[in-house]
Amino acid sequence: MIHARRAGGPRGARSADPRRRTFWAFALPPAVVLAMLLLVPLALMLALSLREDLSGTLLAPFEPTLRHYRQFLATPAFLRSLGLSALTAGGVAVIATALAYPLAYFLAFRAGRRAGVYLVLLLVPFWTSYLLRVMAWKLMLGGEGVINSGLLWLGVIDEPLSALLYNRVAVIVTLVYVWIPFAMLPILAALGRIDIRLHEAAADLFASPAQQFRRITLPLSAPGLIAAFLMVFIPTVGEYVTPLLVGGATGTMYGNIIQDFFTRAANWPFGSALSMVMLGLTIVLVAIGLRVVNPRRLLGT
Amino acid sequence: MQPWRLRSAMRGFVGLVVLSLVMIACGGGASQAPPSADGSVGPTTGPTPAPTAIPPDQVTGSLSVLDWSGYDAPDFWTDFQTTYPKVDVAFEFGISDADIYGKIKAGSQADVFHPYTGWLQFYVDEGLVEELDTSRLTNWGKVPESFKKIGQLNGKQYFIPWDWGFSSVLYRTDKVSGDITSWSALLDPKYSGHISMWDDGPAAVTVSSYIHGYDETAITDSQLASIKQEWSDQARLNVAYWAAESDLVPLMQSGDAWVAYAWQGAYATLLGEGVPVAYANPTEGRNSWVGAYGIRKGSPNYDLALAFLDQKLGEATGNNLVSLYYYGSANGDVMKGITDATLKQAFSVNDPAILDKTNFTPNLTAAQRDAWTTLWAEVKASQ
């Protein structure tokens, strides 16, 4: 249908281009999957957020309202929660990226032929489920957990520290742990692309190792750093599983509030509105971030 | 990618989205047409197809039940299993009343679902539940009238009552000195760091109403504001909120939590584990709730679903419910047959004074549901 319409158009001649046919042959399946599973649900969610409430037939036409967005803006607790979650996500992303950098550096430049083995070893915990790894942190931080038992045994404390688990710090610690290996991969890829001859040339010109790192390694790996940061930041803003398990009553994140409106309030329209706001904020923050950092300048092109 | 290609790709994308939306809309429309158009399966039809035409043990088919996690245990539907051994029963789960309501509302294909008092009216108002033909329920006579009434809405029987129990304050007797005699223990800074409240807005509002003597069916805006403040201050006293009994039990067992909002199931489980716990009789009265089963509107398996509901009220199932989980059964014969002293204590059969001052859970209105759940979300978001 699309082809037929195009055939008469100014670019009609090009539709015979075999490269174009190949392009569509490969692009169509993922495009359909994306459209069906990502864009359609997103459109439905947007529609849901404009509904008055859940009553009536869900797919029938309705009078759109911005009531839920207004209610969100009028509720300081929700605004605060969104800001706090963005800050938490930013903090987690910075810490995870910073901790992942030395790991990636070691794998790229120092591990030599064992790099592959080390990489696999680092990823071994990720063969188990996400839930299991978060539960493991509960066992570490809990009242009868590894840390408390160890400290009790050593006589450092007399009774278990309750401050370890069920708060925002526990959420941050667990999230950092979960994300380090993921943050490492894009950095590793960026470091791996650095031409070793640049280091040799720098050494020939009497650059100290610190200078080499600052002038060559760091700038050339910057795209990897940014990718790592975004890879952690974007999903963490809406995180809800980790705070649910280790956050307790005071470590709630914005994602939990969204989840609550779906599963504990039967108020899908408001939950959808909260989701759309978060999506918008994430897009804006990432756009600003990319504008400020300007990856192209960092790439030197 | 060259610009023209990007543009045409974008156009293709937009086309696909529109196409998919149309497909979804059509699909949705089609699925809404009731499969049997209120005909063959409804209770209002003339000659009902007799379910006993084939002996029950020869009846085949499948039934899908939307229930709370744990209720899939065969103990809870043993009568159906033994009477209809050839019927496949599949369970899917909801984590709360709101979740189950949302799933049914969004088009869950479950035949049978399990809501609790407070949430029943919504299903009737939204036309999501079939009326029940109680003349075909063999165990119906064993259900006390007061229980039957709970499933009657707008003058019709839409639900069977099944399980009932209390909500109250559960506490560790080795950590808490003296008896707890008020719901206000859940807000007492004395237990800071060792309280576990249920993660539920209506429950929080209800507890506050008991403490301050508010009429929970007519909470004013200023009362609601003070309730919000009260629970915002309470949040930091919790070791954690609990969402399911399976969260609460380990918290109490490990000693992380000393004082908790709880149903009797957790009390029974902890007693069984030998944990020193007591279940309070607050001066304000305990809360009491009743669970119900209903059949989804348009279910193609109405007959089997009705048989499932009937067998749910069976004696063996009821006995399991009582003796294994300490929940009350809607089958009056089962309750009369209780002889075990611990069980009598758990149901306060020996102490009618407790039952007399129990606060039964009223049906929520949509406005209350939205206001109370939003209040709770704000409490959690403000931490």
Q: For A246-301, write each residue's pLDDT tens digit.
A: 998 999 999 999 999 999 999 999 999 999 999 999 999 889 888 877 666 655 54
- Paired tokens of A54: 């859940």
Q: In this complex, is the C-beta atom of A203 within 8 Å of any C-beta atom belonging to chain B?
A: no
Q: Which residue of B has its CA nearest to A259?
A: B377
- Contacting residues for B268 by C-beta, under 8 A, at least 6 apart: B324, B325, B326, B346
Q: Interior CA angle at B66 toward B245 and B84, to 5°?
A: 110
Q: What was the pLDDT predicted at A140?
A: 87
Q: Span A116-129, mean pLDDT?
A: 89
C-alpha distances in Å from residue B173, one per residue of A159, A169, B8, B277: 19, 31, 71, 5
| pLDDT, position A58 | 76
Collect the ranges in chain B with pLDDT lower than 70: 1-52, 349-350, 352
Q: Which amino acid is located at B210 in the chain?
A: Y
CA dist., res. B225 & res. A290, Å (int): 42
- A window 135-154, beta carbon within 8 A of B: 142-144
Query: Are B105 and B77 contacting, i.e. CB atoms less than 8 angstroms apart?
Result: no
Asked if B381 lies within 8 A of A244 by C-beta distance, the reply is: no
Residue among A35, A244, A266 whose CB faces B102 most closely: A266
Which residue's structure tokens are 């939950």? A271
**Containing H/E element for A68?**
helix A67-73
- The pLDDT value recorded for residue A298 is 57
Q: Is the pLDDT score of A40 beyond 70?
A: yes
Give B243-265 as a DSSP string. Answer: SSHHHHHHHHHHTS-SEEEEEHH
What was the pLDDT predicted at A295? 62
Quick check: A41 pLDDT over 60? yes
Which of B335, B332, B312 lies closest to B142 in space, CA to CA?
Answer: B332
pLDDT for A15 beyond 60:
no
Does A283 contact chain B (CB < 8 Å)? no
Classify burial at A99, counting beta carbons within 10 Å of its beta carbon; exposed 0-12, middle 13-18, buried 19 or more: middle
Q: Which of A31, A143, A262 sits opposite B255 (nearest CB)?
A: A143
- DSSP classification of residue A267: -
User: Does A195 have pLDDT greater than 50?
Assistant: yes
> Hey, are the CB atoms on B17 and A40 less than 8 Å from each other?
yes
- The per-residue b/e assignment along B96-135, b for 16 or more CB within 10 angstroms, e otherwise, is bbbbbbbbbbeebebbbbbbbbbbbbbbbebebbbbbbbe
Interface of A with B in 34-93 (CB under 8 A): 35-36, 39-40, 43-44, 53-59, 75-78, 80-81
Which residue of chain A has the CA closest to B234? A249
Beta-carbon contacts of residue B18 (< 8 Å; ≥ 6 apart): none
Assigned token pair, A41: 């649900």
How far does Cα A190 stand from its chain's mean position? 18
Rounded CA separation B355/B351 (Å): 7
Chain B residue with the nearest C-alpha to that of A160: B256
Which chain B residues have a beta carbon less than 8 Å from that of A80? 381-382
| Residue A126 binned pLDDT confidence (cut-offs 50, 70, 90) | confident
Confidence (pLDDT) at B1: 40
**Range from A54-68, A74-88, B103-117, B308-322 carrying the lowest mean pLDDT:** A54-68
Contacting residues of A for B34, CB less than 8 Å apart: none
User: Which chain B residues are within 8 Å of A76, Cβ to Cβ?
Assistant: 382
Interchain contact, A260 vs B102, CB within 8 Å: no
pLDDT of residue A61: 84
The residue among A75, A69, A261 whose CA lies nearest residue B370 is A261
At A297 the pLDDT is 60
